Amino acid sequence: MKKLALHWRIIIGMVLGVLFALLMINFEWGAQFIKDWIKPFGTIFINSLKLIAIPLILAALIKGITDLKDISSLSKMGTRTIVIYVMTTVIAVSIGLIVVNLVQPGDTLTEDTRTELINAYADDAAAKQQASKDQQNKGPLQPLIDLVPSNIFEAASSNRNMLQVIFFAVFFGISLILIPEIKGKPVKDFFDGVNDVILKMVDLIMLAAPYGVFALLAALIAESPSADLFAALAMYALSVVGGLLIMVIIYVFVVKTYTKKNPKFFLNGISPAQLLAFSTSSSAATLPVTMERVTEHLGVDEEVSSFVLPVGATINMDGTSLYQAVAALFIAQAFGIDLSFGTQLGIIATATLASIGSAAVPGAGMVMLVGVLGYAGIPEAGLALIFAVDRPLDMCRTVINVTGDATVSMVVAKSIGKLGEPNIKNWDDNYEAVK
């Protein structure tokens, strides 16, 4: 299995987990065996993802901000880049919420299956729902108060305080830029190193993903073997893909109306980067190809692409943000939790800010989802419901992340007069080199 790509290993683990559970539940002792000896490994896998959520945000976000070098980089081109990235992310999360509210994939579960799920995680669900009610009973400005931590170490002790950690990371990063470079360099180097270590931890955790998926799926089947659960999972996946396709349409519309470039011109120019993004599930790994395609084939000046695209690979995760919104509401629906309009608005803010700290590597979106679930009072155990199809969806949403980066680079270039004609006009390039 070591020679297979990670996504194939995860799919194999998923299939084997289902088949194993279907076999074991035919024995009287089978379900209990899975619960005692298989499910704990899935729990360990989820815990390992939760373990690095806070360090991932701190390191990635501080590194992303300090890579801007100085505050002047945020003027004109920098400000426009950040604002547009945030706008597209908010649009992506909103589309995700609209789609999942319309489709209601979690509501396709029967009452019996939902009851089984709620009973399985009764204590966790009750605690989360109570926390959500307590939040709603507070004053209208309480979310603003909660945004600023009184103790960063206390805030970092719980994934529920993700917004506070993000606030501290942004505040810290900006302050680090404002001090003399010679004094700030050791601190920046430290967080650059921490970021590299955390990314390696993500890589190592994802090596265990096939086994984690095996355990999670086997436990899911053993504890809730009804077919409607898988029908709901299919509807969830279609909801994510549908939302991502809407984002592509929006990107093409923006390029057409603002830059006056033909949609075919845009899609042909960026398609090799999209293919690489799909196969690697990593915006960072795709970045060199994205920069080459945007500069040479879409006519974006190198001054713009060299700034906008690296920043985008760090803070612009439209596909990931959309997926987090759909996943959060799907899990809530599956557990029978009714989220208020205010809570859903909070999900928009949380997913938007969390996407800024998402590492451009496979699996990071799942880690950031923990913070979104924590904010909305949704049982984190619900991750078990969606992880089976996370890898193929990760591949799809990375394509959207890269496409969004390219779109914003063209918009920014056009706004400052740096968008020209491409240097290469052959749309029949050999994609084998990219592969």
pLDDT in tens, 76-121: 677 788 888 888 888 988 998 899 889 888 777 776 766 665 565 5
Nearest to 309 by CA among 285, 291, 283: 291
The pair of structure tokens assigned to 393 is: 């969806």
Pick the more confident residue, 190 or 297.
Answer: 190
Exposed e or buried b for every residue in 333-356, given b needs 16+ CB within 10 A?
A: bbbbbebeeebbebbbbbbbbbbb
Reported as a pLDDT band with limits 50, 70 and 90, residue 203 is confident
pTM: predicted TM-score of the whole model, two decimal places: 0.64
Share of the chain above pLDDT 90, in %: 13
Q: How confident is residue 24, by pLDDT bands cut at 50, 70 and 90?
A: very high
Residue 106's pLDDT is what? 77
Enumerate residues 6+ apart whose C-beta is below 8 A from 167. 147, 148, 149
Q: What is the pLDDT of residue 290?
A: 81
Domain boundaries in the chain? Answer: 6-415
Provide the pLDDT for residue 431: 35
Tokens of 174: 């900006």
- Please name every residue paired with 300 in a beta bridge, in sequence order, or none if there are none: 419
pLDDT of residue 215: 86
| Beta carbons within 8 Å of 93's beta carbon, 6+ residues apart | 321, 322, 324, 325, 347, 348, 351, 352
- Mean pLDDT throughout 298-320? 78
Is the CATH number 3.30.43 carried by domain 6-415? no
What's the rounded Cα separation, in Å, for the pair 410 and 258?
9
Report which of residues 412 and 159 the model is more confident about: 412
CA distance to 101, 127, 133, 198, 326, per residue, from 332 (Å): 11, 14, 14, 29, 10
The pLDDT of 245-268, averaged and rounded, is 91
Contact 162, 50 (CB under 8 A): no
pLDDT band at 148 (very low <50, low <70, confident <90, very high): confident
pLDDT at 358: 56
Return the pLDDT at 366.
64
CA distance 62 to 168: 9
In this predicted structure, which of 129-138, 212-221, 241-250 has the lowest mean pLDDT? 129-138
pLDDT for residue 354: 65
pLDDT at 383 over 50: yes
Residue 379 φ/ψ region, left for φ over 0, alpha for ψ in the -120 to 50 degree band, beta for the rest:
beta
For residue 324, what pLDDT is reported?
84
Task: Residue 86: count other Cβ atoms within 10 Å of its Cβ.
Answer: 16
Q: Which of 36-45, 132-141, 180-189, 259-268 has the lowest mean pLDDT?
A: 132-141
Contact 397, 365 (CB under 8 A): yes
Q: Give the pLDDT confidence score for residue 132 in this predicted structure.
A: 46
Q: Are 56 and 366 in contact (CB under 8 A)?
A: no
Tell me the average pLDDT across 57-74. Answer: 68
Inform me whether the pLDDT recorded for 428 exceeds 50: no
SS3 call for 300: strand
